[in-house]
């Protein structure tokens, strides 16, 4: 057979480098830049769109079968932390889909990656349809995980959701510790919405009517106000469970900063002590990094806390646009346990590659990294605000680009009202935890500048002045 391609280049490379594609991309980038330039501050809704917006939102609630937390429908266009809604209003988005858009809205590099993904032969990738990008993303994730040579993580399985990454993590743990079939978690943890994850998640209302899918036991978590007491409490509870069911526990499941639980970080001392105790009984350690990934002083929270050598199995998601389960060679399943038709959309994989490269270039990380600088600035500004409005907010709490404060009396009712008051004034945040309830921000690490933090503080200041 004769070749019809004298250049010897892959057709795919010819397509991606075709001058028409490059020209189209330049035009799209220029049009996007013009559109974005119009979205640089908070705006109220347009009068003439209010009725149609109301109807759109009601139709969405009806189709979905339940209301969403905010009456939020994006127009589909934004600019960094600014996002336009379908009613013409512009919000300052400091929650970004609960921690998802690491580069904010409409980042030019996301457009480039999406254009290239759109030209590829499949919309989704998966078990029998992997492109080279899937390999690149998997290798980059492992490279980031291996930044500390002690990390045993050497394999990576991509998937579509944090819950599914966690399901795979749990499968690997049970498979390797069979017949042990119990799990130990920290109180107040959140792991996702599948039947097994609803069982792990420490919220009774999330498993109403669901069958008992797993045997889960809880130990009290860290308490930064009383660290030593909290550690002793956790160790005592852990010891009690391990002795009550000897040989029955497969894994100790840990969120290193309780995300949905209210932004309670532990410490190196706390985690290493409870992990060491669990290891005495041969438990595998699972770090659920679906919310923390990318947001602290290192790419992984287990690196931030100096726990790399304990990372048997790690799940990630959200900011990476796709989700994944990482595990070590010793835990490789001995049968066809792990597979999926879809591992992610081709555009999500391309986007993940861009974001992981940003994590790899290191600017976000380290004591002088952008995540820490922004955290410190945001913290300072929140402290000033707390001093100006005594009794109305306290804190702040959290680490890196996970930051929260406690509103007023800390009741869920006050938190809900304040989150909605902030939303109406143009700032998007979200609730977390319930004892006390907190209001949290997950600003996009790639593009949040001090001026955006100032804009958020200015809105909060205004809202707090009249908030009762
Ligand atoms: C720590 C943690 N684990 C798991 C999940 C579930 O991820 P997903 O909603 O993508 O299934 C979440 C989501 O908020 C999370 O914060």
What tens digit of pLDDT does each residue of 230-250 get?
A: 999 999 999 999 999 999 999
The CA R_g of the chain, rounded to the nearest whole Å, is 23
pLDDT value for 444? 94
Place of tokens 């937390």: 69
Of 317, 323, 348, 430, which is best to mutate to test ligand 1, by the most ligand atoms within 8 angstroms of its C-beta?
317
Q: What is the Cα–Cα distance from 443 to 414, expressed in whole angstroms?
A: 22
Kind plus residue range of the DSSP H or E element containing 316: strand 313-316
Helices first, then strands: H and E counts in the chain: 15, 19
Give residue limits of the domains in the chain. 11-117, 123-361, 370-466
Report the nearest atom of ligand 1 relative to the CA of 291: 16
Please write down the long-range contacts of 191-196, taking CB distance under 8 Å and 24 or more positions apart: 191/163, 191/166, 191/253, 191/255, 191/288, 192/161, 192/162, 192/163, 192/166, 192/167, 192/290, 193/163, 194/163, 194/164, 194/166, 194/167, 196/166, 196/167, 196/170
Residue nearest ligand 1's atom 7 by CA: 162
Ligand 1 centroid to Cα of residue 163, in Å, is: 6
Find the mean pLDDT for residues 321-343: 96
Ligand 1 centroid to Cα of residue 392, in Å, is: 30
Concatenated DSSP letters for 187-204?
Answer: TT----SSHHHHHHSS-G
pLDDT over 90 percentage in the chain: 93
Residue nearest ligand 1's atom 6 by CA: 192
Least Cα distance to 333 among 173, 145, 102, 98 occurs for 173
Q: What is the Cα–Cα distance from 123 to 96, expressed in whole angstroms?
A: 24
User: pLDDT by residue (tens digit) across 359-384?
Assistant: 999 899 999 999 999 999 999 999 99
Kind plus residue range of the DSSP H or E element containing 432: strand 430-432
Segment among 114-123, 166-175, 396-405, 452-461 with least mean pLDDT? 396-405
Find the mean pLDDT for residues 334-339: 93
Least Cα distance to 254 among 209, 297, 211, 311 occurs for 311
Tell whether the model's pLDDT for residue 1 goes beyond 80: no
Ligand 1 centroid to Cα of residue 317, in Å, is: 7
Tell whether the model's pLDDT for residue 2 goes beyond 60: no
If one counts every other C-beta atom within 10 angstroms of the C-beta of residue 65, the result is: 6
Ligand 1 centroid to Cα of residue 121, in Å, is: 30
Residue 307, class by beta-carbon neighbours within 10 Å (0-12 exposed, 13-18 middle, 19+ buried)? buried
Q: Is the CB of 281 under 6 A from ligand 1?
A: no
pLDDT value for 131? 95
Concatenated DSSP letters for 105-155?
Answer: BT-HHHHHHHHHHHTSS-SEEBTTB--HHHHHHHHHHHHHHTTSTT--EEE
- Strand residues in 160-258 grouped as ranges (E): 182-186, 215-219, 249-254, 257-258
Q: What is the Cα–Cα distance from 456 to 42, expressed in whole angstroms?
A: 10
pLDDT value for 443? 96
Looking at every residue in the chain, the average pLDDT score rounds to 96
Report the nearest atom of ligand 1 relative to the CA of 318: 10
Ligand 1 centroid to Cα of residue 192, in Å, is: 5
pLDDT value for 462? 98
Q: What is the Cα–Cα distance from 72 to 430, expressed in whole angstroms?
A: 13
Tell whether the model's pLDDT for residue 86 goes beyond 70: yes
pLDDT value for 396? 84
Find the mean pLDDT for residues 175-184: 98
Q: Is the CB of 426 under 6 A from ligand 1?
A: no
Q: Is the CB of 99 under 6 A from ligand 1?
A: no
Ligand 1 centroid to Cα of residue 259, in Å, is: 9
Tell whether the model's pLDDT for residue 3 goes beyond 60: no
Ligand 1 centroid to Cα of residue 98, in Å, is: 9
If one counts every other C-beta atom within 10 angstroms of the C-beta of residue 61, the result is: 13
Q: Is the CB of 264 under 6 A from ligand 1?
A: no
Q: Is the CB of 202 under 6 A from ligand 1?
A: no
Report the nearest atom of ligand 1 relative to the CA of 259: 16
pLDDT over 70 percentage in the chain: 99
Query: Where does 341-432 have alpha helices with state H?
Result: 346-361, 370-388, 412-425
Q: Is the CB of 289 under 6 A from ligand 1?
A: no
Q: What is the Cα–Cα distance from 362 to 366, expressed in whole angstroms?
A: 8
Please give the CATH architecture assigned to the domain spanning 123-361.
3-Layer(aba) Sandwich (3.40)
Tell whether the model's pLDDT for residue 203 goes beyond 70: yes
Of 191, 293, 398, 431, which is best to mutate to test ligand 1, by the most ligand atoms within 8 angstroms of its C-beta?
191
Residue nearest ligand 1's atom 13 by CA: 192
Instruction: For residue 304, give both structure tokens.
Output: 């931030």
CA angle 40, 84, 417 (to 5 degrees): 100
Q: Is the CB of 261 under 6 A from ligand 1?
A: no
Prediction pTM value: 0.96
Ligand 1 centroid to Cα of residue 290, in Å, is: 5
Q: What is the Cα–Cα distance from 265 to 11, expressed in whole angstroms?
A: 50
Find the mean pLDDT for residues 211-222: 95
Of 168, 206, 291, which is best to mutate to test ligand 1, by the most ligand atoms within 8 angstroms of its C-beta?
291
Tell whether the model's pLDDT for residue 4 goes beyond 70: no
Find the mean pLDDT for residues 82-108: 97
User: pLDDT by residue (tens digit) across 265-296?
Assistant: 889 999 999 999 999 999 999 999 999 999 99
Q: Is the CB of 191 under 6 A from ligand 1?
A: yes
Report the nearest atom of ligand 1 relative to the CA of 323: 10
Which CATH code is given to the segment(s) 370-466? 3.90.1150.10
User: pLDDT by residue (tens digit) across 387-442?
Assistant: 999 999 998 889 999 999 999 999 999 999 999 999 999 999 999 998 899 999 99
Residue 222, class by beta-carbon neighbours within 10 Å (0-12 exposed, 13-18 middle, 19+ buried)? buried
Of 99, 100, 162, which is best to mutate to test ligand 1, by the most ligand atoms within 8 angstroms of its C-beta?
162
Q: Is the CB of 166 under 6 A from ligand 1?
A: yes
Place of tokens 């921000």: 441
């Amino acid at each position: 057979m004769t070749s019809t391609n004298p250049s010897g280049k892959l057709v795919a490379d010819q397509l991606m480098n075709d001058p028409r594609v490059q020209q189209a991309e330049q035009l799209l980038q220029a049009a996007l830049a013009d559109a974005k330039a119009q979205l640089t501050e908070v705006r109220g809704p347009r009068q003439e769109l209010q009725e149609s917006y109301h109807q759109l939102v009601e139709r969405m609630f009806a189709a979905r079968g339940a209301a969403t937390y905010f009456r939020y429908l994006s127009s589909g266009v934004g600019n960094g932390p600014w996002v336009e809604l379908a009613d013409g209003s512009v919000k300052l988005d400091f929650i970004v889909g609960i921690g998802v858009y690491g580069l904010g809205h409409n980042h030019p590099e996301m457009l480039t990656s999406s254009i290239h993904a759109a030209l590829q032969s499949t919309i989704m990738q998966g078990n029998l349809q992997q492109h080279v990008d899937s390999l690149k993303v998997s290798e980059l994730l492992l490279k980031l995980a291996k930044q500390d040579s002690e990390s045993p993580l050497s394999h990576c399985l991509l998937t579509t959701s944090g819950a599914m990454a966690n399901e795979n993590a749990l499968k690997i743990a049970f498979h390797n510790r069979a017949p042990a079939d119990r799990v130990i978690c920290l109180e107040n943890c959140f792991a996702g919405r599948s039947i097994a994850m609803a069982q792990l998640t420490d919220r009774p209302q999330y498993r109403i009517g669901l069958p008992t899918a797993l045997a889960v036991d809880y130990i009290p978590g860290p308490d930064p106000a009383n660290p030593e007491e909290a550690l002793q409490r956790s160790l005592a509870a852990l010891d009690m469970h391990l002795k009550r069911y000897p040989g029955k526990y497969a894994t100790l499941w840990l969120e290193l900063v309780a995300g949905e639980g209210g932004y309670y970080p532990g410490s190196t001392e706390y985690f290493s002590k409870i992990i060491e105790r669990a290891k005495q009984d041969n438990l595998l350690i699972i770090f659920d990094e679906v919310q923390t990934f990318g947001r602290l002083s290192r790419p992984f929270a287990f690196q931030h806390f100096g726990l790399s050598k304990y990372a048997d199995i790690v799940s990630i998601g959200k900011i990476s646009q796709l989700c994944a389960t990482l595990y070590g060679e010793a835990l490789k399943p001995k049968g066809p346990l792990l597979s999926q038709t879809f591992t992610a959309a081709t555009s999500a994989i391309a986007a993940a590659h861009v974001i992981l490269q940003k994590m790899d270039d290191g600017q976000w990380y380290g004591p002088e990294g952008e995540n820490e600088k922004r955290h410190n600035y945001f913290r300072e500004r929140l402290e000033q605000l707390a001093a100006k409005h005594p009794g109305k907010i306290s804190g702040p709490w959290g680490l890196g680009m996970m930051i929260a404060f406690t509103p007023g009396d800390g009741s869920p009712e006050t938190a809900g009202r304040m989150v909605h008051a902030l939303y109406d004034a143009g700032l998007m945040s979200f609730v977390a935890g319930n004892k006390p309830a907190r209001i949290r921000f997950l600003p996009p690490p790639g593009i949040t500048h001090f001026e955006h933090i100032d804009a958020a503080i200015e809105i909060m200041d205004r809202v707090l002045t009249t908030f009762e």
